[in-house]
Structure 1
């Protein structure tokens, strides 16, 4: 999900350079939403890890 946020951020920068303000604003808002969703999922998984205390299996 962070990958998609970065893609939309780069798309917003490129669109802003070429003067497509509508596309740049839309891409920037999508990137912002995806970033906050990624951040929320990260915090939830971090809290779940701290509560359960389980470690991933070593291979």
Structure 2
């Protein structure tokens, strides 16, 4: 356990850097998901989604 304090410091710094990176990636993901391009891709991948919703509204 000669280098235990060094490993703890590295772990703490890595956790802080990793947390910031995850925060940035999540915000970019949310911004992209709300973009018109993402909505168009979502519609293209599931074109009958609106048909199912309309069928439920109009029995």
TM-score interval, smaller chain: 0.5 to 0.7
CA apart distance, 1:52: 1.7
Q: 1:41 matched to which residue of 2?
A: 24
- Larger C-alpha radius of gyration, 1 or 2? 2
Runs of 4+ in 1 over 6 A off after TM superposition: none
CA RMSD of aligned residues (A): 1.7
Unaligned ranges ≥5, structure 1 = 1-17
Q: Taking structure 1 as the reference length, what is the TM-score of the superposition?
A: 0.54
Q: TM-score, normalised by structure 2?
A: 0.54
Unaligned runs of 5+ residues in structure 2 are 39-59
